[in-house]
Structure 1
Amino acid sequence: MSDHPIPATLRDWAVSWPTYAPVDVTPPELKPSALKREVPSWAEAAPTPADVTDWGRRQSAALIPYRRDAHGWPLHPAGRTGRTGRNLGRWGENAAADPIVIAGTGPQRQILLITRDDIHQEAIPGGMVDPGETAPAALVRELLEETHVDLSDHKPLILGRDLVDDWRQTDHAWVASTSALYVLPTTVTATADDDALDATWYPADSMASLETAISNRGRTLYSAHRPLISRALAELEKLQA
């Protein structure tokens, strides 16, 4: 997702790169001067990682282990991104929850996706875990907020806890998600709300059929969610074999 690709040989933080000059992508509302006036409801007040006081707790609770540099700034677990600053709510790991809802079997199988209002692409109806909230609770809440589908009485299959190639990530702030699979016998009514512009059931007997259906609607699948959906479909093949 990066607009500033890093050569594979230089991505690792252990590799010396004296001339490395990442681009600051911090939006105006998260600049230190703006945070002094008003802190957005979705963001922490710390203007830099040096102002964060609970790094020990954050690192011990992280889905994906990470380290900090000599100045105490968190370092993206996957290495350099070509971007610096913060375009997410928190410095370091931003925990997300992605509920993958699939209905039916075989050729009749369908997946519920939303159209995100920030990038206008088709995506899993997920979002950030709120402070003090558990990932299972966030899975249910995000799905309900964005699609009005209530699966609080369903127990999902946790598929994994992974780094997400989110378009907002930087060297010092990134997204790690808990993805979970919900399997329904048939589709249910879904209505877009909150951060979703639309909520749509798409054919999902394979990744190829899904992407074709999305393309036929003149839309694009959010690339960061492609591996999550692919894994869910592979797991379903095993479960429904």
Structure 2
Amino acid sequence: MTETREASMARSSETEYLSTDVTPPELLPAALALEVPSWAEAAATPADVTDWAARQARALIPFTLDEHGWPMNPQGRTGKTGRNLRYWGENQAADPIVVAGYGQERRVLLITRSDIGVEAIPGGMVDPGETAPAALVRELREETSVDLTDHTPTILGRDVVDDWRASDHAWVSSTSALYQLPTTVTATAADDADDATWYPFGSMDQLATAITDAGRTLYVAHVPLLARALDHLTH
């Protein structure tokens, strides 16, 4: 039997855990019964998911299920419940970090995200049946017009990222990869990007200053990924 949102909230209140349900109207059970958005799965709650073993087996970051069979965010409680992502449990993303030049002349390619208006790595969600390497190339091409199909990136890591949509039971894990170019190439914003910009990347402070001077803000969730790329380049 499907557990209602009210029942889920009651479970949380039993342990005096205060949280906010982040489920948008189109993913509420009543709405899903009428129409499932093309970008989301049909399961109204994790109790409606039937392939948890398979999802756990292919997860980038291992996760467990609680006593009710609901997926648990590997980073712990978030203060948020519900789902504002495609899947319950792990949602896989790909983040291509494109760097051009060397030393203090180094530049990194970032986009202005159309959803939250911040500067971010030009990445996105891995499509069903797609591999992370393919998603890295596709997302970069779709959002910046830069095609690095013939380049082999360095995989920097696989991490749970602090995505603004994440909750206790739905989160984002990303494969981040570094592409190194000798010089900058033309980048044109498209798809989910409002702008595409090459920023100074000699250090994280230099990047932060350049973004602030442009009147913009760096996406907090991507700071650790960019810092790791810079560390790889400088050591």
- Interval of TM-score (by shorter of Structure 1 and Structure 2): over 0.9
Correspondence for 2:86 = 89
Correspondence for 1:69 = 66
**1:71-93 alpha-carbon deviations (Å, 9 max, x no partner):** 11001011111100001110000
- Following superposition, the deviation at residue 70 of structure 1 comes to 1.1
Correspondence for 2:186 = 189
Give the TM-score of the pair, scaled to structure 1.
0.91
- Following superposition, the deviation at residue 209 of structure 1 comes to 0.4
Correspondence for 2:145 = 148
RMSD: 0.8
- Following superposition, the deviation at residue 36 of structure 1 comes to 1.4
**1:97-156 alpha-carbon deviations (Å, 9 max, x no partner):** 000000000111000000001110000000000111000000000000000000000000
Give the TM-score of the pair, scaled to structure 2.
0.93
Equivalent residue runs for 1:150-189 within 5 Å: 150-189=147-186
Letter in 1 for 2:22: V
Correspondence for 1:207 = 204
Correspondence for 2:17 = 20
C-alpha distance in structure 2 between counterparts of 1:86 and 1:69, whole Å: 17
Correspondence for 2:50 = 53
- Following superposition, the deviation at residue 21 of structure 1 comes to 2.9
For structure 2, the 5+ residue unaligned runs are 1-13
SS at match of 1:234: helix
- Following superposition, the deviation at residue 33 of structure 1 comes to 1.0
Q: 2:27 aligns with which of 10, 27, 30?
A: 30
C-alpha distance in structure 1 between counterparts of 2:224 and 2:15, whole Å: 33
How many residues align? The count is 222
Q: 2:231 aligns with which of 229, 234, 238?
A: 234
Correspondence for 1:79 = 76
**1:169-195 alpha-carbon deviations (Å, 9 max, x no partner):** 000000000000000000000000000
**Divergent runs of 4+, >2 A:** none
- Indicate yes or no: 2:135 matched with 1:138: yes
**1:26-57 alpha-carbon deviations (Å, 9 max, x no partner):** 01111111111221111111111111111000
Correspondence for 1:198 = 195
Letter in 2 for 1:146: E
C-alpha distance in structure 1 between counterparts of 2:109 and 2:127, whole Å: 23
Letter in 1 for 2:96: P
- Indicate yes or no: 2:215 matched with 1:218: yes
